[in-house]
Amino acid sequence: MSPAERADLARRLARLLPAPAADARARRRFVVVVATASLLMIPWVAALAWTLPPRYLAGHWRATWVGFDLVLAAALALTAWAAVRRRQIVVLTALVSATLLACDAWFDLMTAAGPDRWVSLATAVLLELPLAVWLCHVSHTLVRHSMRRMLTLSGETATDLPLRRMPLFGVPPRRR
Q: pTM of the full predicted structure?
A: 0.81
* Buried/exposed 76-107: b ≥16 CB within 10 Å, e otherwise: bebbeebeeeeeeebbebbbbbbebbbebbee
The whole-angstrom separation of Cα 1 and Cα 144 is: 27
Burial class (CB in 10 A: 0-12, 13-18, 19+), 31: exposed
The whole-angstrom separation of Cα 95 and Cα 103 is: 12
The whole-angstrom separation of Cα 166 and Cα 71 is: 32
**What confidence score (pLDDT) does residue 9 get?**
79
The whole-angstrom separation of Cα 83 and Cα 65 is: 27
Each residue's pLDDT, cut to its tens digit, for the chain (176 residues) gives: 787 787 777 777 767 776 666 677 888 999 999 999 999 999 999 999 999 998 888 899 999 999 999 999 999 999 999 999 999 999 999 999 999 999 999 999 999 999 999 999 999 999 999 999 999 999 999 999 888 887 777 777 767 778 887 777 666 666 65
Query: What does the domain layout of the chain look like in residue ranges?
Result: 1-52, 56-160
Query: What separation in angstroms does the CA of 47 have from each of 33, 53, 58, 102, 124?
Result: 21, 12, 20, 24, 29
CA atoms within 13 A on the CB side of 66: 4
**What confidence score (pLDDT) does residue 21 get?**
65
**What confidence score (pLDDT) does residue 139 get?**
97
